[in-house]
Amino acid sequence: MQELVSVNSVISKPEEAKISVYDRGFLFGDAIYEVTRSYGKVFFTIEEHIARLRRSAEAINLDLGKSDQKIIEEMYALAKEGGEEDVYIRLQVSRGNCAFQQVSIKPKNTSAANYVMYLHKLKNWEPKYYEKGISLGVAETLRNNKKAMDPNIKSGNYLNNILGLLETEGQYDDCILLTKEGLVAEGSTFNVFMVKDKTVYTQPDDFDILQGITRKIILELCESNQIKLQKKAFSIEELLQADEVFVSSSTKEVMPVLKIGKQNFQEGGGEITKRLASLYKDYVIKYCEKAAKDHPIDF
Ligand code: PDD
């Protein structure tokens, strides 16, 4: 496969892709992004990703300057050029460039938004993460408070999450970030669920988390399959005493948690985690079959 990068609609090899040093994403993290993957040739829940990109843009008053349709077309064009199925795309949109020689955080005099799309072959998680599970450390770094920098804005600035990861690096696969009150917010790049007494717990929708698109599907799957669900914040102590813990994201799908700190959970996940993982896979297949029929893609 050709790994490619598109910068403001110009496609080039990764080593040739360039962006200005005056780009506000580079300078200040003044950018938003989405990560999405294709199954075969179909970008899964692509409309939802672009809708979330638009919500993030509105929340930071960034003018996307392109229709949803145009963005989706460009993503498909890039995947077609790469000529590969099962790909990963990171779409990053910064507010634009500061005027030359005017490095100022004030958004005045900024150019139009810069679009960068990274097309990579999807790196599947090693089977051990599903057969056993992921290990997580609890970071002392807190998740950003939604009144400071709302995690629901998918901002290109991941310093908060990186600080959490730096603490747990080398000891665990990844980290969980808490709120100031000791409640579980989310992982560095994923949502966190617990199962207790056959009920799935997730945070309320207005909590300090990114509302994951995978999470939303899991909630729908719980409802349509009579799996009890509670949208209720839970503490780290409650999480450690849960019967099952799993995480979700576009690239991880439903992944069991094997260990949090010193606390171990069942290898490969408990009954409900396994059921949701399998329901999610079925959902993906049905979605992709329908999408391929409705909008055939020719490459
Ligand atoms: N991360 N929470 C955070 C902080 C995330 O960065 C992500 C996604 C999620 C899950 O969202 P979704 O289910 O829509 O993928 C939750 C992507 C995958 C990433 O940065 O690679």
pLDDT, one tens digit per residue, over 52-94 is: 999 999 999 999 999 999 999 999 999 999 988 999 999 999 9
Mean of pLDDT values over 28-38: 97
pLDDT at 294: 85
Q: Which of 154, 198, 216, 228 is catalytic?
A: 154
CA of 109 to the centre of ligand 1 (A): 32
Q: What is the pLDDT of residues 227-246, one digit of tens each?
A: 999 999 999 999 999 999 99
- Residue 297 reports pLDDT greater than 90: no
Pocket lining: 250 vs ligand 1, CB cutoff 6 Å: yes
**What does the block give as tokens for 113?**
């938004």
User: Catalytic: 286?
Assistant: no
Q: Alpha-carbon distance 139 to 263, whole Å?
A: 15
Alpha helices in the chain (DSSP H): 24-28, 46-59, 68-82, 128-131, 146-149, 159-168, 213-224, 236-240, 271-294
Do 76 and 169 form a contact (C-beta atoms < 8 A)? no
Q: How far apart are CA 244 and CA 92, in angstroms?
A: 34
Q: What's the longest Cα–Cα distance across the chain? A: 60
Does residue 156 have its Cβ closer than 6 Å to ligand 1? no
Above 80 in pLDDT, residue 296? no
Average pLDDT, whole number, for the chain? 96
Task: Check pLDDT > 90 for residue 147.
Answer: yes
Residue 203 Cβ inside 6 Å of ligand 1? The answer reads: no
Pairwise CA distance, residues 299 & 290, whole Å: 18
Query: Is the pLDDT assigned to residue 129 strictly greater than 80?
Result: yes
pLDDT band at 1, cuts 50/70/90?
confident
Ligand 1 neighbourhood includes 218 CB (under 6 angstroms): no
